[in-house]
Amino acid sequence: MRTQEELEKILAEILGELKALGAEPTGEIKGISWTHQRRSWGTCNQIVSKKEFRIEISEALRDETVSEESLKNVVAHECIHTLKGCWNHGRTFKMWCYRMNNKYGHNIATRDSCESLGVDAAQKYADAKYKFVCQKCGSEVGFYRMCTFVKYPEFYTCHKCGGDFKRVEAFPVRTVAENVSRAVITGKREIVVFGEQISLFEED
């Protein structure tokens, strides 16, 4: 398993690369650490009042079976979020991803999958509350809380092959008809997803 010291070394390396390209964080990065959360590969938390950032990286990337370059890509992704105009995944964020990839040979993306990072999906989603599998290619996805995908899996397709997803673990969930009725009655915006084919991209 990778250590905290190795993670901090990678952070310093990535910040050095950004600085060489003329990029500076808009606040101080107070630290980087491993986290047990597996809903995303990494998070960049901003303390606006103090102009500080703290980065957390999922322990799913701590195993040495995952390449160091994959870990660097995630750390770099979170570091780019600290740059001016890069809090979301808009044009400026993508520009810095391109510049880093072009200069240093990284593969920083707006979103990563288990496949792109070389992570065993079964390992990442081992403790997920809701699990689904693509009926065409067998790709697995998992979610740790109720979301639109969990409620309406029939409106999503696998981004790898276009296949349909099937729930592989039983859990209480309303039928589509029940959700339509509930959305109409409550006026919730979730009804806007009906009939829309949305490709699945795992969380970053």
Give tens-digit pLDDT for 192-202: 333 333 333 34
**pTM exceeds 0.85:** no
Residue-number span of the structural domain to which 168 is assigned? 125-200
User: How confident is the model at residue 188, as a pLDDT?
Assistant: 41
Residues 43-64: tens digit of each pLDDT: 999 988 888 999 999 988 998 8
Separation in Å, CA 120 to CA 114, 136, 186: 6, 18, 40
What is the CATH number for 20? 3.30.2010.10
Could you tell me the pLDDT band of residue 78, with boundaries at 50, 70 and 90?
very high
- Residues 10 and 94 reside in one and the same domain: yes
| Average pLDDT taken over every residue of the chain | 82
CA dihedral for 77, 78, 84, 85, sign (positive or negative): positive
H or E stretch including 8? helix 4-20
Please report whether residue 120 resides in a domain.
no
The domain total for the chain is 2
Rounded Cα distance between 8 and 15, Å, is 11
Alpha helices by DSSP H, listed for 105-199, are: 114-117, 121-124, 148-151, 176-186
Q: Which of 114, 134, 168 represents a domain boundary (last residue)?
A: 114
Q: Which two tokens stand for residue 188?
A: 């919730």
Q: Which two tokens stand for residue 98?
A: 């391109």
